[in-house]
Each structure stands twice: as structure tokens, then as C-alpha cells.
């Protein structure tokens, strides 16, 4: 058996982990091909082509191929058969349900899918049912109706909002089928084992970037094809006994809530709306008063100020999950989380951000909390207190360079497993103190965005969607959903070359 490599692959040997093979196909040789180099000496050559993942710079993946030639037809067929059986044994998806948001990001979802993703799915013999959404919540509602057991995964083509829709559909469906009431904040939720794939075509694409390392449709399609699996923590958000939403990336009050609220009116601007509303919100410099109470995440050995970040096969995520299941086994349902220590902080905040992952995105490649973990059962709670505009700008700029964004006297960060927030306004209302003047003042400042005073309340930004209540209770659910991803690889190029299970070994 001889090997002819793709011309772009100039190394002598080609090592490919079998888990990263996309497809194996018999190759029809045309006359021209038969006359290339050594192969022309073969009487009647037979060949097969292996399509595999080629790792490029910055976590980008591409599809490459290598063709194997031989004179013996039987041997050639044996190889094809053996490799196909090997592929069958892996947990690669065969049937996918795809939702495309044609209006996300730069409105290119449909063409991205048709031109870059569908041909790869077809090469990998994946069958798809494709739904192009016609309105918001189309995907979510549809997930309550479809025969979900038919699929090995659900793919969303769009941004973080589209992912959120699909996740809500899947989690909601699981709870409905199991008779679990999502409105009960303490309900033992049923995990969702069907994997979700994200083809990035949105404005921020933070979930894709933070779980894959790049926002690139071909790379994400290949992670789906090879059947990667990355668990993700999910926060449930309640207002008293009413379920509001789930969150996997950012729950932000103040700065990011105000950006979102303003930017929703400017959807026609596409991804630029965030720059416009970001500048406007920065200039308005509003701060908000309230009380935040939280339970520190004692089960995890990591800290938000660690130098190392969460990477593929993360030790901290594994250890934290083990620790939590151990705790659960020991205490079972009797485990009363409410009795554990709550820390209470009152203050004036420019921003309150709770992140379940780093929230890295093209705008901020290290994210809001660079050492946050994808699957450790905790969120990083970042409190940015009232400070000068200049200091807040210094804080924001550090999201884009190597300096530590938590190294400011006005910024505190905690790793938590649950938290609650009440704005001063709702606290006052609850204690029946009506301060009409304050409410009017709030209104006045909303109308004059250039003034830097406190207004009554902001809005929560929950993965890019606004929440209706400012008073919320949040609980992190460890590894609650699964993605077709593997986390960010340490050094993807080198790892590919030294895998134990490689075609080279087979040969
Ligand atoms: N056909 C549709 N028409 C209008 N809205 C839709 C449609 N399909 C989905 N949506 C809604 O559009 C919202 C935003 O979509 P999406 O997340 O794909 O793009 P984005 O907001 O530009 O990106 P990002 O969330 O990354 O900032 C989603 O919350 C989804 O509910
Ligand atoms: C002077 C330069 C300063 C630059 C500072 C840049 C800091 C950028 C941090 C970006 C953090 C994104 C967090 C992710 C939030 C998503 O769940 C959400 C939905 O897609 N996107 C936004 O809310 C959109 C949020 C848009 C923020 C601009
Ligand atoms: Ca986490």
C-alpha cells in the first residue's frame, strides 16, 4: 500500500488520530491520475481517500485528504472496510436537526451553512433535517414538538441568542417529559444529553469562541463531525418562584445590561450595534445600588485569579465535578444548600457580571474572566464598583491586553455556586418605602444619558437577552448541557502529530 499526500501537506509522514477522520471513500482514478509518478508502473491501481482534520493556526481546523494506492483490489477494499468499521465505532453523529437563523449577525447564516457546512456534513454521510427559522422562538417551540430521539444532536446556525433558544428548547423539553416544574428553583433538573453544535453566524459568538478557541464555521462543523463532547455549566435564573431563563455565558447587570437594552433598538446595524451602544453606555456612566448575596464555590480548587485557563480535558473541571457528585452522594437530597454560608455585599456598582465561562470572543480574546472554567459547577462573579470614567476605561481596556483586569481596588471577583441580587429600588419597595422623587430622578437620567449619576435600576443581560426582573436568584448546574466541542486545545498543531491512535500505527 502506498500513500499519496495532499500537495499542501509537505511532511514525509502523516499522523492522523482515527477519531479525527472525517470520511473514507473509494477513489475513482482517471487516466491523468494513473499517469502520475510511481503509480504509472502499477498495472491497474486501486485507491481510497481518507478525509481528515488538519489543524491550522489559532485553533482553526480544515478538511484535508490523503489517497492510498495499491494494485490489489481486495486489499484496497479490506482497508476501506476496516476504516469504515473504525469510524462506526466512534460516537460520531449520523442524524442532525439543524436550525438556521437567517437574520443573526451579518445575516449570512443561510449561505454560511449551505456553502461551508452542508458539503462537509454530506462528505461525512451525516443526514440532516434543516429548519430555517421564521421568527424568534421558532427553534425553541419546535423542539417541544419534534421526535427528538431520532437525532444525535441539534445544530444552531447563528449567534449566542440562537444557541440560547435551542438550549432552552432542549432543557425545557427534558423537564416537561420528566414532569419537572422549572419554576421551582430547587427542583432536581433532568440533564440534557443530546449534544448541541454551534455554527457561528452571530454578532458576538462568545459561546463558540470560548469553547472552540475561534469563531469559524468550518472548524465548528468539523468538531460536530468528529463527535466531540464538551459539557457546560448552566445557571438557572429565577425571580421568586418564577423561572426566567438559563444562562451559559454572561449574566450582566449595569454596563452590559444597558448596552444590550440600547442595542436591541439598533438591530438593523448588525454587529456594529454593540460598538455604538457600548460607547453610548460608557459615556452615560450610570451606576446602580443594590445588594448581592452569594455562596462561594468551595468544591472547586480553582480561583478566578489563576494564571492557567480552562483547556481541553481540564483537570479542574474533572476534579470539581467529582467533588460535587461526592457531596451529593453523601448528603443526597437532604443537602440543604440554603444553610451554607452566604456572603452579603451592598454597594454602588457600574457592572455586576456573572460568567459561567471566560466569555472570550473576537472583541476580547481572553474574555471577562480569563480563568473561568467551562464545566466546574461554578460561575465567576465580578463586581465593578462605582469609579471614575477614566478608571472604568482602564478596566475595559484590560479585556483586550495581557494586563490583569481584576487588579483594581474597585473590582472584586468571587467564584460562586449561587447568588441573588436585589436592586435598592426593589428593596425599598419591598419595605414599603416609596420614594417617588428617586423614581422620577431615575427617569430623568434615562432621558439624559450623558449624566453620570445613579438611576433606579438597570436590566439583566442574560446571554444577550434582557430579563424582565432585576431581582433574581441564580444557581449553577454543573455540566448540565453538552456541546459538540472539546474546549480550547493547548497546542493543537503538535497534539495532532503525536496521537497514540493513528493511521500510521495501523499501517
Ligand atoms: N427568523 C427569525 N426572525 C427574527 N428573529 C429570530 C429569527 N430566528 C431567530 N431569531 C432570534 O434572533 C435572536 C438573535 O439571533 P442570534 O443570536 O443568531 O444573532 P445575534 O444576536 O446577531 O448574535 P449574538 O447573540 O452572538 O450577539 C435570537 O435570540 C433568536 O431568538
Ligand atoms: C476601549 C476598548 C474597550 C473594549 C472593551 C471590550 C470588552 C468586550 C467584552 C465582551 C464580553 C462579551 C460577553 C458576551 C456576552 C454575550 O452573552 C452577549 C450575547 O451575544 N453579547 C452581548 O451582550 C454583547 C456585548 C457587547 C460588548 C461590547
Ligand atoms: Ca464554570
* Domain layout of the chain by residue ranges: 2-91+491-506, 235-478
Residue 200 Cα: closest atom of ligand 1: 26
pLDDT digits (tens, 9 = 90+) for 269-295: 999 999 999 999 999 999 999 999 999
Backbone angles phi and psi of 390, in degrees to 5: -65, -45
pLDDT computed for residue 20 by the predictor: 96
| Residue 160 annotated as catalytic | yes
pLDDT digits (tens, 9 = 90+) for 401-417: 999 999 999 999 999 99
Q: What is the CATH number of domain 2-91+491-506?
A: 2.30.29
Which whole number is the average pLDDT over 195-223? 97
pLDDT over 80 (residue 450):
no
pLDDT computed for residue 457 by the predictor: 87
pLDDT computed for residue 331 by the predictor: 74
Q: Could you tell me if the ipTM is greater than 0.95?
A: yes
pLDDT over 60 (residue 183):
yes
Query: Among 50-54, 379-383, 445-449, 468-472, where is mean pLDDT lowest?
Result: 445-449
Cβ 80 vs Cβ 67: under 8 Å: no
Locate the DSSP E strands across 248-287.
250-254
| Of residues 392 and 67, more confidently modeled | 392
- 133, 138, 165, 167: which is closest to 153 by C-alpha? 167
For ligand 3, the distance from its centroid to the CA atom of residue 315, given in whole angstroms, is 13
Contacts of 442 (CB under 8 A, 6+ apart): 425, 455, 456, 457
pLDDT over 50 (residue 329):
yes
Query: Among 28-32, 146-150, 159-163, 261-265, where is mean pLDDT lowest?
Result: 28-32
pTM: 0.90
Query: Among 4-13, 63-72, 370-379, where is mean pLDDT lowest?
Result: 4-13
Cβ 349 vs Cβ 386: under 8 Å: yes
Nearest CA to ligand 1 atom 6: 136
pLDDT computed for residue 8 by the predictor: 41
Give the Å distances, CA to CA, from 421 to 140, 294, 354: 28, 9, 11
Q: Are strands 95-100 and 411-423 parallel, antiparallel or unpaired?
A: unpaired
For ligand 1, the distance from its centroid to the CA atom of residue 160, given in whole angstroms, is 8
Confidence of residue 454 (pLDDT cuts 50, 70, 90): low
Q: Give dist(CA 190, CA 188) in Å, integer.
A: 7
Nearest CA to ligand 1 atom 29: 161
pLDDT computed for residue 380 by the predictor: 98
Confidence of residue 31 (pLDDT cuts 50, 70, 90): low
For ligand 2, the distance from its centroid to the CA atom of residue 246, given in whole angstroms, is 19
pLDDT computed for residue 362 by the predictor: 94
- b (16+ CB within 10 A) / e for 96-130: bbbbbbbbbbeeebbebbeebbbebbeebebebeb
CATH fold for the domain made of 235-478: Tumour Suppressor Smad4 (2.60.200)
* Catalytically annotated residue among 72, 129, 160, 435: 160
pLDDT digits (tens, 9 = 90+) for 113-126: 999 999 999 999 99
Burial class (CB in 10 A: 0-12, 13-18, 19+), 38: exposed
Q: Pocket of ligand 1, candidates 105, 133, 137, 158: which has the most ligand atoms within 8 Å of its Cβ, to mutate?
A: 158
Chain centroid, CA 204 distance in Å: 11
pLDDT computed for residue 495 by the predictor: 44
Amino acid at each position: 500500500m502506498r500513500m499519496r499526500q495532499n500537495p499542501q501537506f509537505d511532511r514525509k509522514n502523516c499522523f492522523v488520530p482515527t477519531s479525527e477522520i472525517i470520511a473514507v471513500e473509494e477513489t475513482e482514478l482517471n487516466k491523468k491520475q494513473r499517469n502520475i509518478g510511481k503509480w504509472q508502473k502499477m498495472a491497474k491501481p486501486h485507491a481510497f481517500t481518507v478525509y481528515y482534520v488538519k489543524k491550522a493556526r489559532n485553533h482553526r481546523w480544515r478538511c484535508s485528504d490523503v489517497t492510498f494506492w495499491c494494485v490489489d483490489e481486495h486489499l484496497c477494499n479490506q482497508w476501506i472496510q476496516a476504516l469504515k468499521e473504525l469510524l462506526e465505532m466512534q460516537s460520531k453523529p449520523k442524524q442532525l436537526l439543524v436550525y438556521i437563523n437567517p437574520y443573526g449577525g451579518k445575516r449570512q447564516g443561510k449561505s454560511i451553512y449551505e456553502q461551508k457546512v452542508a458539503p462537509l456534513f454530506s462528505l461525512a454521510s451525516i443526514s440532516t433535517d434543516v429548519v430555517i427559522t421564521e421568527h424568534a422562538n421558532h427553534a425553541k417551540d419546535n423542539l417541544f414538538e419534534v421526535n427528538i430521539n431520532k437525532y444525535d444532536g441539534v445544530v444552531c446556525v447563528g449567534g449566542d441568542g440562537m444557541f440560547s433558544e435551542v438550549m432552552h428548547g432542549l432543557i425545557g423539553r427534558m423537564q416537561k417529559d420528566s414532569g419537572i416544574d422549572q419554576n421551582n428553583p430547587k427542583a432536581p433538573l433532568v440533564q440534557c444529553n443530546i449534544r448541541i453544535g454551534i455554527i457561528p453566524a452571530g454578532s458576538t459568538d462568545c459561546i463558540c469562541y470560548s469553547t472552540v478557541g475561534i469563531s469559524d464555521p468550518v472548524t465548528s462543523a468539523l468538531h460536530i463531525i468528529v463527535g466531540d463532547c464538551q459539557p457546560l455549566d448552566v445557571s438557572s435564573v429565577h425571580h421568586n418562584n418564577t423561572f426566567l431563563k438559563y444562562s451559559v455565558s454572561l449574566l450582566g447587570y449595569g454596563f452590559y445590561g444597558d448596552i444590550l437594552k440600547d442595542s436591541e433598538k439598533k438591530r438593523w446595524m448588525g454587529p456594529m450595534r454593540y460598538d455604538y451602544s457600548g460607547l453610548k453606555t460608557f459615556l452615560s456612566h450610570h451606576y446602580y445600588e443594590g445588594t448581592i448575596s452569594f455562596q462561594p464555590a468551595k468544591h472547586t480548587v480553582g480561583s478566578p485569579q489563576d494564571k492557567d485557563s480552562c483547556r481541553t480535558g481540564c483537570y479542574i473541571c474533572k476534579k470539581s465535578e467529582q467533588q460535587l457528585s461526592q457531596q451529593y452522594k453523601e448528603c443526597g437530597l437532604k443537602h440543604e444548600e440554603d444553610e451554607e454560608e452566604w456572603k452579603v455585599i451592598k454597594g454602588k456598582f457600574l457592572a455586576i457580571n456573572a460568567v459561567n465561562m471566560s466569555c472570550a470572543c473576537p472583541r476580547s480574546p481572553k474574555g471577562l474572566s480569563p480563568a473561568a472554567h467551562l464545566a466546574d459547577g461554578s460561575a465567576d462573579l465580578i463586581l465593578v464598583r462605582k469609579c471614575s470614567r477614566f478608571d472604568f476605561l482602564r478596566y475595559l481596556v484590560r479585556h483586550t491586553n495581557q494586563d490583569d483586569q481584576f487588579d483594581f481596588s474597585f473590582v472584586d471577583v468571587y467564584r460562586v455556586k449561587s447568588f441573588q441580587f436585589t436592586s435598592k429600588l426593589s428593596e425599598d419597595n419591598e419595605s414599603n418605602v416609596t420614594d417617588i422623587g428617586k423614581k422620577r430622578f431615575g427617569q430623568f437620567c434615562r432621558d439624559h444619558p450623558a449624566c453620570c449619576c445613579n438611576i433606579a435600576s438597570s436590566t439583566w443581560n442574560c446571554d444577550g437577552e434582557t430579563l424582565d426582573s432585576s431581582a433574581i436568584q441564580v444557581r449553577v448546574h454543573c455540566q448540565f448541557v453538552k456541546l459538540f466541542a472539546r474546549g480550547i486545545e493547548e497546542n493543537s498543531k503538535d497534539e495532532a502529530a503525536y496521537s497514540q491512535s493513528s493511521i500510521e500505527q495501523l499501517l
